[in-house]
Amino acid sequence: MSATVSDKLLAWYDSHARALPWRSTPGAPAPDPYRVWLSEVMLQQTTVAAVAPYFEKFTRTWPTVEALAAAPDDDVMAAWAGLGYYSRARNLVKCAKEVAAQGGFPDTEAELRKLPGLGAYTAAAVAAIAFGKRAVVVDANVERVVSRLFAIREPLPASRPAIRAATDTITPERRAGDFAQAMMDLGATICTARDARCLLCPLNADCRARAEGDPLELPVKAKKKAKPSRTGTAFWIEREDRVWLVKRPGTGMLGGMRALPDDGWSARGDGEGDAPVSGAWRAAGVVRHGFTHFDIELGVAVHAGDDPSPHGEGEWWPVDAIDDAGLPTLFLKAARLVLAGRETE
């Protein structure tokens, strides 16, 4: 199988590669390592459609890794707002500074692994796509394709060593970057989670799951545990058409982001903290949001007193520019709830 799979897949990729802003066309010189790295970090647990506008904004604002390294942390975090998984943004800043200090990206998988925030997958992807090094690149799409191609029936995540070993047997020495992207494209467009379009697949003759008649049964996934729920309260405090925003601690949930003050739900599970200012409060409603490991119902309380003076550090932000504050999605939902309620009054 290994002698023919890569040839078939690369021939298919030459005609069917997705046009993405961080890619070079098949067979063309490799893209800038900065663009490859940035896109791979953004694409972790995030769709191509969601990432594309963020990638365009980042590369327009900071066209080189040196420019990103020199940017204020707050500006980068604000630009990332809405993309989720904010630890990625914090690691992005750390990595950019380290790469700039080194004078550029290292070109080997082993050295890339030493950079902040680069795990096995990202290091392999950058080594293969940006530097043409042979590396075994396995993301969720590749896991699915290889599970079906080799009929690997052990449930995820226990099957990952077997999937990686099988991927290794079909990864070519030449055009390793194109091969990695071809596998991703095959999983994204042909061998998808909900469909196996086997008649269109360039590897259908080699696919063991197709031969056995059950490609959609693979990969086998362990049953998901029900996510716990949390509750909390966010506080809207307004003075002279400005709303009080705080900066969350640099580590932990939504670390380093601007946000509405809250009652400590992220630290305690259920909010029990005090309001940031005394006085009367009015309930504006509830917003709901799903994080990776839990869901939250966040009540929104609007300060109804006069001339509030919140305790602690923060900043007064123009209400009419709240979309530019870089709030995480949860708090942006809360802000929009308050403003929508104002429009209906």
Catalytic residues: 40
Residues with Cβ within 8 Å of 151's Cβ and at least 6 positions away in sequence, in order, are 208, 209, 212, 218
63: preceding bond cis by omega (within 30 degrees): no
Sign of CA dihedral 52, 11, 3, 29: negative
In terms of DSSP bridges, do strands 315-318 and 295-303 run parallel, antiparallel, or are they unpaired?
Answer: unpaired
Residue 146 contacts residue 171 (beta carbons within 8 Å): no
CA distance 231 to 298: 6
Residues with Cβ within 8 Å of 127's Cβ and at least 6 positions away in sequence, in order, are 107, 108, 109, 112, 133, 135
Question: In Å, what is the CA distance from 173 to each residue of 86, 116, 176, 178, 250?
Answer: 35, 27, 6, 11, 42
Phi, then psi, of 124 in degrees rounded to 5: -65, -40
Task: Dig out the tokens for 246 from the structure.
Answer: 């705080």
CA distance 96 to 78: 16
CA distance 235 to 300: 6
Torsion of CA 268, 270, 276, 281, to 10 degrees: 180
